[in-house]
Amino acid sequence: MKLILFDLDHTLLSGDSDVLWCEFLINRGVLDKQSFALKNAQIDAGYAAGTIEPKVFSDFYASTLAGGSPAHWEPFRKAFVQEIIHPRISQSALDLVRKHWVYGSRVVMTTATNRYLAEPSAAYLGIEEVIATELDVQGGIFTGRTTGHPNMREGKVTRLNAWLTGQGLKLEDFESTAYSDSINDLPLLLSVKHPVAIDPDDKLRQEAQSRGWPIVHLER
């Protein structure tokens, strides 16, 4: 069996879902630019550098949904996906995913982005199975916090193994491939049989070159 794991942000998507979501809400007047934009940039820089704690990263972006229900946010999410996300998913990204479907592989998106924002991107890409950071919901309302292990760095491996175990499977059962752009996903890439770097950041590029991993560039 073949298992294909795709990161989302800066891998299949040109940009970061969480950062783009914050910018979208700022432009819509939902978030205050003066108080929020600087923190957003700092969090994004910490992620890119691999220095920010996963829980801090995940809860910061979860906080943008605090106090609203999924139904309340749905018009915003729908507009965000259509206006911002779809134009940032290139034909080459779609073709890469579909190539694996043709070969009969099991294709999974694994992303640090929360499930509420990640699932529409996965659907557009034709990916039905998603492992994502989970949002805490109480009484049908987003609390602005995450729950469980954030699906980030070593957490991607932890969450993947738990997901497989729940199906009576283990990673060793598969001829596994993982695609990512980020040094944050080094634990995941090291755990599979075929790691592939897509438009990698500088740190991952160095790792890929030193380890002889393929480096792929997608047309954006």
**CB distance 92 to 53 below 8 Å:** no
Active-site hit among 7, 18, 44, 185: 7
Active-site hit among 9, 16, 185, 201: 9
Long-range (24+ apart) CB contacts under 8 A made by 49-57 are 50/153, 50/182, 50/183, 50/184, 50/203, 54/112, 54/149, 54/150, 54/152, 54/153, 54/155, 55/146, 55/150, 57/112, 57/150, 57/152
**CB distance 159 to 131 below 8 Å:** yes
Pairwise CA distance, residues 26 & 36, whole Å: 8
Q: Any catalytic annotation for residue 136?
A: no
Active site residues: 7, 9
